[in-house]
Amino acid sequence: MAAFPATTNRAPLSRPFWHTLPGLLVAGGLIALTLAGLGALIWQARQPDVSELWNSPYLRNVIAFTLRQAVISTAISLALGILVALALLRQSAFPGRKALLRVMELSLVLPTIVAVSGLVACYGREGTVTQWIGHWLSYEWNLYGINGIVLAHVFFNAPLAGRILLQSLESVPAPRRRVASQLGLRGWWHWRAVDWPAIRPVLPGAGALVFTLCFTSFAIIMTLGGGPGATTLEVAIYQALRFEFDFGQAAMLAVVQLIICGLLWAFMARGDFSANLSPQRSFAGAIPRPDCGVIHRITDRLLLLAFSVFLLLPLIAILARGLPSLSEVVFGDGNALQQLLTASLRSFSIALPAGALSVAAALAILGLGTVRIPAVKKLSNLTPAIPLMVPPIVLGTGLFLLLRPGLGDISQGLALVALINGLMALPFTLQLLKEPFNGLDRASLNLADQLGVLGWYRWRWLHWPRMRAPLSLAMAYGTGLSLGDFGVIALFGSPAEPTLPVLLYQQMGSYRVELAAATALWLIASLGLVFIGFNALGRSKAPSGAQQLSLERLAEMRHA
Amino acid sequence: MLEVRQLEFRYTGDQPGWRFDFSLARGACIAINGASGSGKSTLLNLLGGFLAADSGTISWDGQRIDSLPPWHRPFTSVFQEHNLFEHLDVQTNIGLGMHPGLRLTKDQKARISDSLASVGLAGYERRLPGDLSGGQRQRVALVRTLLRSQPVLLLDEPLTGLDDQARQGLHQLLLEQKASGSAIVLASHDSQDREVLADSQLNL
């Protein structure tokens, strides 16, 4: 019989502060960083003349244009999203339905700058579609300016809105659908009785989400906008910082943006619309809709086909143009290849630490969640929302102002980029890891407590085997997000030492379309490599049931 | 000697609470009787340290243990189900009871294999719990309990739902354990379990 008190082998890292300390450091660091950034902004913002906001025609234009393009983009994205969602709902037997849904998820991982390069290849001055249409019609189409900005925003956000709305449409309770089916409701009345009530609670949240994304978009405006007529706040901040060195004005604009975003967030939080964005799994089955007649069959399929073409065309263009020019780069004189490889190396040396940072920070915050003190628990719930509320460019601007005197070395700038990218990814990696981490049942936890499987041992034997796959997906996602980042790197990076997205931007800016296509394809391939590589690392040798993770889950949490 | 004195607990304010008071010597077994909801599982959770009592004391050999965390108490629990970590194989499940970080000596590994063989599970070291029947899973849980050699066993319906043959084998194991000096707190609906194993009764 064992002696009592038992001389248990105390597990390493099992003292309570190991659960609390890392999380407190991360949460405290994040809050301090945000406050310092915002503080630096507000401190700087005192100097400029606030009346410039409405007196200076430039600033008035910028604010008006930002709002205008965001409103138009949001309206079109939502309208198209509703139509596509309804069509997908009606045509559940559409042959490419699953594939189309997959393509609609792609906008979650596709770097903005890559998509823009694809859009330029299709609709730009030399674009395939432009030339084809120009051959038949004498219409003068110009991608640059509000046309292209709205087009790109719709390209990204219509699929997003469509997915959210489809989920809410599919969640209509089966009995209500049966009644509608029996009554033979169609057209306007079906919309009023069934579809609209399902969409209505989600629409404000989806609208606010899309509006925020369009309002704060950076890469799209940088590439397709420009000039005083087509500049948004985000780009104006960047220009003030990088070219005019007018820090006061940058700070003032950042504060304006923060106020508008903050008002929207406050509105969302008050109405609790965000809760409605979380998708529910539907078990609808096939209750025939009365409006599945021949006419709808034809129009719906035409719409879905057109939408698929709209989403796929830029990707196909990248592939078609990128493949030959990439092989040219690889087998060419070596100069372009050298440039591409250096940029890749630089990109990965930012993205991998950023991914690792976001995963480590997420784990620390999750550890904080296991502490039984209510205040600490609350902190672990609230902290990850900070990077969502404070736009990265605002955070970046604050830090830029704060660190400017000491920010001489380029490598320090890159470290800062990795830091901010990691924090930006935190809400998403956290969402991916939360469920697997908290998924251990009470019985297992009690058992582990009794056996003394604590601290490091608990991590090693209980969490690690279950979290390999989610961890690798989170790592891939965090890395991928940073790999495709163009906003923060534009602020802190140097044009002479580009990352892949910056290189792509430079090539597009100098109209080297072929080179740009090669870089875009290379960037997509790198992204694919990241996902495939981490997926392979995360696959455990023992077969395990609870590791079904796919892009679909990623999509769900992104909406949540 | 396990002594439970005036141990009181209630879940929420206005519900009637429980009070437990009994003692148990080494090598003895006490059966806890009562309908479901009468507090059997509550008592076992209080003893294991998974619930905190409102008042009263628990002592082992004259030493208070009611404020110790679960891993420092001289108990091993076996429940009706969920005794095993589903994602870990049989050997790891047992081994974690011997060292919480699975730092096992060759000798300890051999003892696991021997014990598995003695309950008819020779060669099952690498199986996952999901591949085992209910009786086999309970035998694995009991093997871990025996190898952990804590002085008190807390058994919460450990044999419910098993077939007769499996029950008899497990009765045998538990009787041997009792004879070697373990104290057993048994909560079971089954009168046969109580007759075979228990020396005294506690009616809730």
Task: Concatenate the DSSP letters of all residues of A508-519 into one string.
Answer: HHTT-HHHHHHH
Instruction: Find tokens 């086909």 and name the residue.
Output: A305
| Chain A CB contacts of B67 below 8 Å | none
Which percentage of chain B shows pLDDT scores above 70? 99
Region for residue B62 given its phi and psi (left: phi exceeds 0; alpha: psi -120 to 50; beta: otherwise): left
Give rounded-to-5 percent helix, strand, coil for chain B: 35, 25, 40
Instruction: Please name which of A292, A314, A308, A288 lies closest in space to residue A80, comparing C-alpha atoms.
Output: A308
Residues of chain A contacting residue B182, judged by C-beta atoms under 8 Å apart? 1
The pLDDT score that the predictor gives to residue A71 is: 94
Q: Which of the two residues, A138 and B41, has the higher pLDDT score?
A: B41
b/e sequence A59-73, b meaning 16+ C-beta within 10 Å: bebbbebbbebbebb
Q: How confident is the model at residue B4 (pLDDT cuts 50, 70, 90)?
A: very high
Whether A260 contacts A267, CB under 8 Å: no
CA A211 to chain centroid, in Å, comes to 14
pLDDT at B183: 93
Backbone angles phi, psi at B103, to 5 degrees: -85, 90
- DSSP lists the bridge partners of residue B76 as B153
Where along chain A do the CATH 1.10.3720.10 domains lie?
A: 11-44+332-560, 65-231+289-323
Residue B149 is classified by DSSP as T
Residue A48's pLDDT is 67
Q: What residue type is assigned to position B91 of the chain?
A: Q
The token duo for A335 is: 């100069």
Beta bridge partners of B155: B78, B186
Task: Report which residue type is found at A47.
Answer: Q
CA dist list (Å): B137 to A470, B81, B147: 28, 8, 16
Three-class SS state of B23? strand
CA distance A206 to A195: 16
Does domain A65-231+289-323 correspond to CATH entry 1.10.3720.10? yes
The answer to whether A447 contacts B101, with C-beta atoms less than 8 Å apart, is no
Fold exhibited by the domain A11-44+332-560: MetI-like fold (1.10.3720)
Report pLDDT for A482. Answer: 93
pLDDT of residue A559: 40
Residue from B82, B115, B86, B121 nearest B98 by CA: B115
Nearest to A130 by CA among A107, A147, A154: A147
Please give the backbone phi and psi of residue A542, each rounded to the nearest 5 degrees, phi first: -75, 140
| Shortest CA gap A444–chain B (Å) | 6
Strands (E), A314-419: none
Ramachandran category for residue A334: left, alpha or beta (phi over 0 → left; psi -120 to 50 → alpha): left
Residue B204 touches partner A, C-beta closer than 8 Å: no
Paired with B8 in beta bridges are B19, B55
pLDDT confidence bin for B154, thresholds 50/70/90: very high
Half-sphere CA count of A122, side-chain side, radius 13 A: 20
HEC-encoded secondary structure of A424-444: HHHHHHHHHHHHHHHCCCHHH
Residues of A in contact with B72 (CB under 8 A): 5-6, 8
Query: Average pLDDT of chain B?
Result: 89
Q: Which residues of B touch A443 (CB under 8 A)?
A: 79, 81-83
Chain B hits for A462, Cβ within 8 Å: 85
Q: Chain B residues with CB inside 8 Å of A451's CB? A: 71, 96-97, 100, 148
Distance of CA A470 to the CA centre of its chain: 18
> Structure pTM?
0.77
Decide: B47 and B58 in contact? Cβ < 8 Å: yes
| Residues 6+ positions from A74 with CB-CB distance below 8 Å | A157, A207, A210, A211, A214
Place of tokens 């990707």: A315
What average pLDDT does the segment B112-126 reach?
90
For an interface test with A, the pick among B96, B131, B177 (most A C-beta atoms closer than 10 Å) comes out as B96
For chain A positions 407-446, those within 8 Å of chain B (CB to CB) are 441, 443-444, 446
- End-to-end CA separation in angstroms for chain A: 53
Q: Do A451 and B71 touch (CB under 8 A)?
A: yes
Q: Are strands B63-64 and B2-9 parallel, antiparallel or unpaired?
A: unpaired
Q: What tokens does B37 get?
A: 């909801």
- Domains, in order of start, for chain B: 1-74+153-164+188-203 (3.40.50.300)
- Specify the DSSP element, H or E, that contains A299: helix A294-331
Interface of A with B in 526-555 (CB under 8 A): 542, 544, 546
Residue A27 CA to residue A361 CA, distance in Å, equals: 9
What pLDDT tens digit does each residue of chain A (560 aa) get? 444 555 455 778 877 778 788 888 988 888 888 888 878 877 776 666 777 777 788 888 888 999 999 999 999 999 999 999 999 888 877 888 888 888 887 777 889 999 998 898 888 877 778 777 777 776 667 888 888 999 999 999 999 899 888 888 887 777 777 777 777 777 777 788 788 888 888 888 888 888 888 988 888 998 888 777 788 888 888 888 778 877 788 888 888 887 887 788 677 665 544 333 333 334 444 566 666 667 778 888 999 999 999 999 999 988 998 898 888 888 877 788 888 999 999 999 999 999 999 999 999 998 888 877 888 877 877 777 777 667 677 777 777 777 766 656 667 778 888 998 998 888 888 888 888 888 888 888 889 988 888 888 988 898 988 888 889 989 998 999 999 998 888 888 888 889 999 999 999 888 887 888 899 999 999 998 998 898 888 875 544 433 334 444 444 444 43
Question: Tell me, what's the pLDDT at A555?
Answer: 46
Contacts B153 to A, Cβ<8 Å: none
Determine contact: A457 vs chain B, CB below 8 A: yes
* A312: nearest Cα among A86, A159, A87, A163: A159
Asked if A491 and A414 count as a contact pair (C-beta separation under 8 A), the reply is no
* Pairing verdict, β B29-33 and B55-60: unpaired
Cβ–Cβ of B85/A456 closer than 8 Å? no
The answer to whether A493 and A414 have CB atoms below 8 angstroms apart is: yes
Q: What is the dihedral of CA A495, A498, A500, A506, to 10 degrees?
A: 30
Query: For the sheet containing B55-60, what is the strand order?
Result: B18-24, B2-9, B55-60, B63-64
Q: Using CA atoms, how far apart are residues B89 and B126, in angstroms rounded to an integer?
A: 5
Q: What is the mean pLDDT of residues B35-62?
A: 89
Cβ partners under 8 Å of residue A186, min gap 6: A290, A291, A293
Judged against a pLDDT cut of 70, whether residue B95 lies above it is answered with: yes
The CA-to-CA distance between both ends of chain B, in Å, stands at: 21
Phi and psi of B86, rounded to 5°? -65, -25
Question: Are B77 and A9 a contacting pair at CB < 8 A?
Answer: no
Cα separation, A222 vs A311, whole angstroms: 21
- Show Cβ contacts of residue A238 under 8 Å, excluding neighbours closer than 6 positions: A218, A222, A393, A490, A491
| Record: contact A453-B70, CB cut-off 8 A | no
Nearest to B121 by CA among B151, B89, B98, B155: B89
